Structure 1
Amino acid sequence: MQIADRTVASFHYTLTNDAGDVVDSSAGREPLTYLQGAGNIVPGLEKAMEGHVAGDVFNVDVPAAEGYGDYIEELVQVVPRKAFAGVDDLEVGMQFQAQTPGGMLPVMITEINGDDVTVDGNHALAGETLHFAIEIVEVREASVEEVLHGHVHGEGGHHH
Protein backbone atom coordinates (compact mmCIF):
# COMPACT_ATOMS: atom_id res chain seq x y z
CA MET A 1 0.00 0.00 0.00
CA GLN A 2 1.25 3.49 -0.87
CA ILE A 3 1.22 6.44 1.48
CA ALA A 4 -1.72 8.65 0.51
CA ASP A 5 -4.34 10.75 2.28
CA ARG A 6 -6.17 8.72 4.93
CA THR A 7 -3.36 6.23 5.40
CA VAL A 8 -1.30 5.72 8.53
CA ALA A 9 2.44 5.48 8.03
CA SER A 10 5.13 4.43 10.49
CA PHE A 11 8.70 5.45 9.77
CA HIS A 12 12.14 5.75 11.25
CA TYR A 13 14.00 9.00 10.70
CA THR A 14 17.17 10.87 11.40
CA LEU A 15 16.99 14.65 11.17
CA THR A 16 20.20 16.60 10.59
CA ASN A 17 20.97 20.29 10.13
CA ASP A 18 23.08 21.90 7.40
CA ALA A 19 26.26 21.14 9.37
CA GLY A 20 25.36 17.44 9.43
CA ASP A 21 24.67 17.40 13.18
CA VAL A 22 21.89 15.03 14.29
CA VAL A 23 19.02 17.13 15.65
CA ASP A 24 16.57 14.28 16.31
CA SER A 25 16.25 10.60 15.51
CA SER A 26 13.98 7.65 16.14
CA ALA A 27 17.00 5.33 16.37
CA GLY A 28 16.59 2.97 19.30
CA ARG A 29 12.92 3.95 19.71
CA GLU A 30 9.63 3.04 18.14
CA PRO A 31 9.03 4.47 14.66
CA LEU A 32 7.03 7.70 14.35
CA THR A 33 3.44 7.01 13.29
CA TYR A 34 1.22 9.65 11.69
CA LEU A 35 -1.95 10.16 9.62
CA GLN A 36 -1.10 11.32 6.07
CA GLY A 37 -2.99 14.42 5.00
CA ALA A 38 -3.83 15.59 8.53
CA GLY A 39 -0.87 17.94 9.03
CA ASN A 40 0.65 15.77 11.78
CA ILE A 41 4.19 16.30 10.44
CA VAL A 42 5.85 19.28 8.72
CA PRO A 43 4.31 19.95 5.28
CA GLY A 44 7.46 19.36 3.22
CA LEU A 45 8.04 15.96 4.78
CA GLU A 46 4.38 14.98 4.43
CA LYS A 47 4.52 15.89 0.73
CA ALA A 48 7.71 13.84 0.25
CA MET A 49 6.16 10.79 1.95
CA GLU A 50 3.31 10.63 -0.60
CA GLY A 51 3.49 7.49 -2.77
CA HIS A 52 6.14 5.66 -0.75
CA VAL A 53 5.61 2.10 0.52
CA ALA A 54 6.89 -0.01 3.41
CA GLY A 55 10.57 -0.76 2.94
CA ASP A 56 11.38 2.45 1.07
CA VAL A 57 14.54 4.22 2.27
CA PHE A 58 15.20 7.75 1.05
CA ASN A 59 16.49 11.21 1.93
CA VAL A 60 14.52 14.44 1.74
CA ASP A 61 15.56 18.06 2.25
CA VAL A 62 12.74 20.26 3.52
CA PRO A 63 13.23 24.02 3.08
CA ALA A 64 12.36 26.26 6.04
CA ALA A 65 9.14 27.48 4.40
CA GLU A 66 7.84 23.88 4.31
CA GLY A 67 9.31 22.95 7.69
CA TYR A 68 9.12 25.18 10.77
CA GLY A 69 8.88 28.40 8.80
CA ASP A 70 11.19 31.31 8.24
CA TYR A 71 12.94 32.94 11.18
CA ILE A 72 10.94 36.04 12.16
CA GLU A 73 12.98 38.72 13.93
CA GLU A 74 9.81 40.32 15.36
CA LEU A 75 9.29 37.20 17.51
CA VAL A 76 12.44 38.08 19.47
CA GLN A 77 11.79 40.58 22.23
CA VAL A 78 13.50 41.94 25.32
CA VAL A 79 11.18 41.97 28.33
CA PRO A 80 11.77 43.04 31.93
CA ARG A 81 12.67 40.34 34.45
CA LYS A 82 9.55 41.33 36.46
CA ALA A 83 7.44 39.85 33.63
CA PHE A 84 8.41 36.46 35.11
CA ALA A 85 6.82 37.06 38.53
CA GLY A 86 6.94 33.96 40.70
CA VAL A 87 9.99 32.48 38.95
CA ASP A 88 13.08 33.11 41.05
CA ASP A 89 15.84 31.54 38.97
CA LEU A 90 15.63 32.35 35.25
CA GLU A 91 17.98 30.49 32.93
CA VAL A 92 18.71 30.55 29.22
CA GLY A 93 16.76 27.72 27.57
CA MET A 94 13.73 27.95 29.86
CA GLN A 95 10.41 27.90 28.00
CA PHE A 96 7.24 29.81 28.82
CA GLN A 97 3.84 30.58 27.32
CA ALA A 98 3.43 34.27 26.44
CA GLN A 99 0.01 35.87 26.05
CA THR A 100 -0.06 37.80 22.75
CA PRO A 101 -2.85 39.53 20.82
CA GLY A 102 -2.92 36.43 18.59
CA GLY A 103 -3.19 34.02 21.54
CA MET A 104 -0.66 31.98 23.48
CA LEU A 105 2.86 31.75 22.03
CA PRO A 106 5.58 29.44 23.33
CA VAL A 107 8.81 31.38 23.90
CA MET A 108 12.30 30.45 25.03
CA ILE A 109 14.74 32.57 27.00
CA THR A 110 17.80 33.11 24.81
CA GLU A 111 19.69 35.74 26.83
CA ILE A 112 19.64 37.33 30.28
CA ASN A 113 21.40 40.66 30.75
CA GLY A 114 20.70 42.15 34.17
CA ASP A 115 16.97 42.92 34.32
CA ASP A 116 16.57 42.44 30.55
CA VAL A 117 15.42 39.01 29.42
CA THR A 118 15.44 38.15 25.70
CA VAL A 119 12.75 35.70 24.60
CA ASP A 120 12.35 34.09 21.18
CA GLY A 121 8.98 32.89 19.88
CA ASN A 122 10.46 31.17 16.83
CA HIS A 123 10.62 27.37 16.70
CA ALA A 124 14.17 26.21 17.41
CA LEU A 125 14.43 24.99 13.78
CA ALA A 126 12.80 28.05 12.15
CA GLY A 127 14.78 29.29 9.17
CA GLU A 128 16.65 26.01 8.75
CA THR A 129 16.57 23.40 6.01
CA LEU A 130 15.62 20.04 7.52
CA HIS A 131 17.56 17.03 6.20
CA PHE A 132 15.72 13.76 6.80
CA ALA A 133 16.90 10.18 6.27
CA ILE A 134 13.69 8.11 6.15
CA GLU A 135 12.83 4.41 6.32
CA ILE A 136 9.16 3.54 5.86
CA VAL A 137 8.26 0.67 8.22
CA GLU A 138 4.52 0.21 7.68
CA VAL A 139 1.59 1.71 5.77
CA ARG A 140 -2.06 0.89 6.48
CA GLU A 141 -5.50 2.35 5.93
CA ALA A 142 -6.63 4.77 8.62
CA SER A 143 -9.75 3.90 10.58
CA VAL A 144 -12.81 6.12 10.24
CA GLU A 145 -12.24 7.27 13.84
CA GLU A 146 -8.62 8.25 13.09
CA VAL A 147 -9.68 10.26 10.03
CA LEU A 148 -12.45 12.01 11.98
CA HIS A 149 -10.10 12.82 14.88
CA GLY A 150 -7.21 13.82 12.61
CA HIS A 151 -4.59 11.61 14.29
CA VAL A 152 -3.52 8.00 14.79
CA HIS A 153 -5.05 5.91 17.56
CA GLY A 154 -3.65 2.83 19.27
CA GLU A 155 -0.10 1.54 19.13
CA GLY A 156 2.33 4.22 18.01
CA GLY A 157 -0.37 6.89 18.10
CA HIS A 158 -2.76 8.73 20.40
CA HIS A 159 -4.71 6.90 23.11
CA HIS A 160 -8.01 8.38 24.35
Structure 2
Amino acid sequence: MSDMQIQENSVVQFHYTLSENGNELESSRQGSPLLYLHGHNQMFAKVEAELTGKSVGDKLSITLAPVDAYGEVKSDAIESVQVKNLSGAKKWKPGMVAWLRTAQGEQQVTIVKVGMFKAEVDTNHPLAGKTVTFDIEVMQIREASADEIAHGHAHGEGGHHH
Protein backbone atom coordinates (compact mmCIF):
# COMPACT_ATOMS: atom_id res chain seq x y z
CA MET A 1 0.00 0.00 0.00
CA SER A 2 2.83 2.40 0.84
CA ASP A 3 4.23 2.37 -2.71
CA MET A 4 0.98 3.75 -4.14
CA GLN A 5 1.40 6.72 -6.44
CA ILE A 6 -0.93 9.64 -7.03
CA GLN A 7 -3.02 9.13 -10.16
CA GLU A 8 -6.51 9.83 -11.51
CA ASN A 9 -9.10 9.13 -8.75
CA SER A 10 -6.53 8.92 -5.94
CA VAL A 11 -7.68 10.51 -2.69
CA VAL A 12 -4.65 12.43 -1.48
CA GLN A 13 -4.12 13.74 2.04
CA PHE A 14 -1.48 16.45 2.28
CA HIS A 15 -0.13 19.28 4.38
CA TYR A 16 0.67 22.55 2.66
CA THR A 17 2.17 25.92 3.36
CA LEU A 18 1.33 28.80 1.03
CA SER A 19 3.80 31.67 0.86
CA GLU A 20 4.58 34.74 -1.20
CA ASN A 21 8.20 35.95 -1.40
CA GLY A 22 9.11 33.74 1.57
CA ASN A 23 6.29 35.14 3.76
CA GLU A 24 3.96 32.42 5.00
CA LEU A 25 0.34 33.28 4.18
CA GLU A 26 -1.42 30.14 5.36
CA SER A 27 -0.62 26.59 6.36
CA SER A 28 -2.47 23.39 7.21
CA ARG A 29 0.25 22.37 9.67
CA GLN A 30 -1.65 23.62 12.76
CA GLY A 31 -4.68 21.51 11.87
CA SER A 32 -5.63 18.44 9.89
CA PRO A 33 -4.11 17.74 6.49
CA LEU A 34 -6.35 18.48 3.52
CA LEU A 35 -7.94 15.81 1.34
CA TYR A 36 -8.67 16.09 -2.34
CA LEU A 37 -9.69 13.84 -5.21
CA HIS A 38 -6.94 13.84 -7.86
CA GLY A 39 -7.97 14.51 -11.46
CA HIS A 40 -11.20 16.40 -10.68
CA ASN A 41 -10.06 20.03 -11.01
CA GLN A 42 -10.05 20.70 -7.28
CA MET A 43 -6.52 22.07 -7.32
CA PHE A 44 -4.62 24.49 -9.50
CA ALA A 45 -3.77 22.51 -12.66
CA LYS A 46 -0.01 22.99 -12.22
CA VAL A 47 -0.13 21.75 -8.61
CA GLU A 48 -2.09 18.68 -9.67
CA ALA A 49 0.35 18.01 -12.52
CA GLU A 50 3.29 18.19 -10.09
CA LEU A 51 1.57 15.81 -7.64
CA THR A 52 0.86 13.15 -10.29
CA GLY A 53 3.07 10.11 -9.69
CA LYS A 54 4.19 11.25 -6.23
CA SER A 55 4.18 8.88 -3.21
CA VAL A 56 3.57 9.18 0.55
CA GLY A 57 6.36 11.17 2.20
CA ASP A 58 7.22 13.12 -0.96
CA LYS A 59 7.73 16.84 -0.43
CA LEU A 60 7.53 19.37 -3.20
CA SER A 61 7.68 23.10 -3.65
CA ILE A 62 5.66 24.58 -6.51
CA THR A 63 5.82 28.26 -7.45
CA LEU A 64 2.88 29.56 -9.47
CA ALA A 65 2.67 32.73 -11.52
CA PRO A 66 -0.58 34.72 -11.02
CA VAL A 67 -2.08 33.25 -14.22
CA ASP A 68 -1.66 29.72 -12.79
CA ALA A 69 -2.83 30.65 -9.28
CA TYR A 70 -5.35 33.32 -8.26
CA GLY A 71 -5.35 35.29 -11.53
CA GLU A 72 -4.21 38.73 -12.52
CA VAL A 73 -5.69 41.78 -10.81
CA LYS A 74 -8.78 42.99 -12.69
CA SER A 75 -9.24 46.75 -12.55
CA ASP A 76 -13.03 46.57 -13.04
CA ALA A 77 -13.59 44.29 -10.07
CA ILE A 78 -15.28 46.81 -7.72
CA GLU A 79 -18.91 45.89 -7.03
CA SER A 80 -21.61 47.32 -4.83
CA VAL A 81 -23.21 44.61 -2.68
CA GLN A 82 -25.68 44.29 0.19
CA VAL A 83 -23.86 44.28 3.53
CA LYS A 84 -26.15 41.43 4.68
CA ASN A 85 -24.52 39.16 2.05
CA LEU A 86 -21.09 39.55 3.67
CA SER A 87 -19.87 37.18 6.37
CA GLY A 88 -16.75 36.96 8.49
CA ALA A 89 -17.10 39.94 10.84
CA LYS A 90 -19.72 42.00 12.66
CA LYS A 91 -18.30 45.42 11.78
CA TRP A 92 -16.63 46.09 8.45
CA LYS A 93 -13.75 48.41 7.67
CA PRO A 94 -11.94 49.05 4.36
CA GLY A 95 -9.18 46.53 3.73
CA MET A 96 -10.91 43.69 5.57
CA VAL A 97 -11.46 40.42 3.73
CA ALA A 98 -15.03 39.10 3.71
CA TRP A 99 -16.92 36.15 2.31
CA LEU A 100 -19.62 37.22 -0.15
CA ARG A 101 -22.58 34.94 -0.82
CA THR A 102 -23.22 34.84 -4.58
CA ALA A 103 -25.28 32.67 -6.92
CA GLN A 104 -22.03 30.79 -7.68
CA GLY A 105 -21.30 30.15 -3.99
CA GLU A 106 -19.07 32.00 -1.55
CA GLN A 107 -16.32 34.25 -2.85
CA GLN A 108 -13.55 36.07 -0.99
CA VAL A 109 -13.69 39.84 -1.45
CA THR A 110 -11.92 42.85 0.06
CA ILE A 111 -13.95 45.73 1.52
CA VAL A 112 -13.24 49.03 -0.25
CA LYS A 113 -15.94 51.24 1.29
CA VAL A 114 -18.81 50.41 3.61
CA GLY A 115 -22.12 52.15 4.26
CA MET A 116 -25.19 51.28 6.29
CA PHE A 117 -26.73 48.78 3.86
CA LYS A 118 -24.31 48.60 0.94
CA ALA A 119 -20.60 48.02 0.65
CA GLU A 120 -18.20 48.45 -2.22
CA VAL A 121 -16.03 45.35 -2.51
CA ASP A 122 -13.07 44.37 -4.64
CA THR A 123 -13.90 40.94 -6.09
CA ASN A 124 -10.29 40.17 -6.98
CA HIS A 125 -9.03 37.28 -4.83
CA PRO A 126 -6.80 38.76 -2.08
CA LEU A 127 -3.86 36.92 -3.73
CA ALA A 128 -4.64 38.03 -7.29
CA GLY A 129 -1.57 39.31 -9.12
CA LYS A 130 0.79 37.52 -6.72
CA THR A 131 3.32 34.79 -7.45
CA VAL A 132 2.81 32.18 -4.73
CA THR A 133 4.63 29.05 -3.60
CA PHE A 134 2.98 25.91 -2.28
CA ASP A 135 5.16 23.63 -0.15
CA ILE A 136 3.36 20.30 -0.05
CA GLU A 137 4.01 17.07 1.83
CA VAL A 138 2.05 13.99 0.77
CA MET A 139 0.72 12.28 3.92
CA GLN A 140 -1.55 9.54 2.60
CA ILE A 141 -2.88 8.16 -0.71
CA ARG A 142 -5.83 5.82 -1.22
CA GLU A 143 -8.20 4.78 -3.97
CA ALA A 144 -11.35 6.88 -4.19
CA SER A 145 -14.68 5.20 -3.47
CA ALA A 146 -17.35 5.04 -6.18
CA ASP A 147 -19.27 7.65 -4.17
CA GLU A 148 -16.34 10.05 -4.14
CA ILE A 149 -15.80 9.64 -7.89
CA ALA A 150 -19.52 10.18 -8.55
CA HIS A 151 -19.54 13.32 -6.37
CA GLY A 152 -16.22 14.59 -7.75
CA HIS A 153 -14.61 15.20 -4.34
CA ALA A 154 -13.04 13.40 -1.38
CA HIS A 155 -15.07 12.60 1.74
CA GLY A 156 -13.79 12.47 5.31
CA GLU A 157 -11.70 14.64 7.63
CA GLY A 158 -10.09 17.46 5.66
CA GLY A 159 -12.36 16.73 2.70
CA HIS A 160 -15.98 17.43 1.83
CA HIS A 161 -18.83 16.86 4.26
CA HIS A 162 -22.44 16.54 3.09
Aligned position for 2:17: 14
For residue 28 of structure 1, report the CA deviation from its aligned partner.
2.2
For residue 110 of structure 1, report the CA deviation from its aligned partner.
2.8
For residue 65 of structure 1, report the CA deviation from its aligned partner.
1.3
Aligned position for 1:137: 139
SS of corresponding position for 1:16: strand
Cα 1:135–1:76, aligned 2, differ >3 Å: closer, same or farther? same
- 1:3 maps to amino acid: I
Taking structure 2 as the reference length, the TM-score comes to: 0.78
CA RMSD in angstroms comes to 2.8
Taking the TM superposition and a 5 Å limit, the aligned residue runs for 1:1-160 are 1-18=4-21, 20-77=22-79, 79=80, 84=82, 90-92=92-94, 93=96, 95=98, 97=100, 106=107, 107-111=109-113, 118-160=120-162
For residue 122 of structure 1, report the CA deviation from its aligned partner.
0.7
Q: What runs of 5+ residues in structure 2 fail to find an aligned partner?
A: none
SS of corresponding position for 2:147: helix
The separation in 2 between residues aligned to 1:54 and 1:85, in whole angstroms, is: 45
SS of corresponding position for 1:133: strand
Taking structure 1 as the reference length, the TM-score comes to: 0.79
The separation in 2 between residues aligned to 1:23 and 1:128, in whole angstroms, is: 12
SS of corresponding position for 1:74: coil
- 1:148 maps to amino acid: A
For residue 9 of structure 1, report the CA deviation from its aligned partner.
0.6
SS of corresponding position for 1:47: helix
The separation in 2 between residues aligned to 1:140 and 1:9, in whole angstroms, is: 7
Identical pairs, percent: 34
